[in-house]
Amino acid sequence: DAKTTQPPSMDCAEGRAANLPCNHSTISGNEYVYWYRQIHSQGPQYIIHGLKNNETNEMASLIITEDRKSSTLILPHATLRDTAVYYCIVRHGGSQGNLIFGKGTKLSVKP
Amino acid sequence: GAVVSQHPSRVICKSGTSVKIECRSLDFQATTMFWYRQFPKQSLMLMATSNEGSKATYEQGVEKDKFLINHASLTLSTLTVTSAHPEDSSFYICSASPPGASYEQYFGPGTRLTVT
């Protein structure tokens, strides 16, 4: 699976949009981009995933560049409860295999 | 979404004793579950893949005789840390995917193990 690069930390004001970037320049054609987050001392939580089209669900939006070498996770109205470590993971579609976690981005939402 | 539970959530044991951690998929059957370990301020590291009805597959560097995995049913996998030592103190997390939804991997809440 391709490697991802994320900034180690970011701050965001409560109520504002949080935009978390991820670089995955070696992604291959059949690899999806997944986002998970981990709130302190809890198990990771699935957020969203996509292949090449932008995706949106009740939690977030995922914007993937046309060349698929990078993506951005958008939390439209961040709350204090969104403070967590966000992991961007690239994985083969349909894979039953494990997820490989990098260091992620520590998002701190401030009042 | 699908729910995965772990028990216990927190355990303290003495050095040399064994500890069993349970991972259950509550509303779906999981032929495959995964066990991860997370040390403070670090990311999750895969320890082993638990397959129902067969032997677990361990990652390089993980001792299979020390971390015993049993996946006896489609909803339960157990991890036993044998002869625990203080360096085994960590946050242990399991995960599973519902059938036909491999893109969604659901994680348990984790078990905090402290070996004194």
The answer on pLDDT for B102 being more than 70 is no
pLDDT in the model for residue A2? 64
Using omega within 30 degrees of 0 as the cis cutoff, is the peptide bond preceding B86 cis? no
Q: Do B103 and A34 touch (CB under 8 A)?
A: yes
Q: Among A32, A34, A44, whose Cβ lies nearest the Cβ of B107?
A: A44
> In terms of Cα–Cα distance, which of A74, A43, A19 is closest to B36?
A43
Q: Residue B3 above 70 pLDDT?
A: yes
**pLDDT greater than 90 at residue A99:** no
CA A90 to chain B, closest CA, distance in angstroms equals 11
Q: What is the rounded CA–CA span in Å between residue B112 and residue B84?
A: 13
Chain segment B65-75, per-residue pLDDT in tens: 999 999 888 89
Q: From chain A, pick out residues whose CB is under 8 angstroms from the CB of B34.
A: 98-99
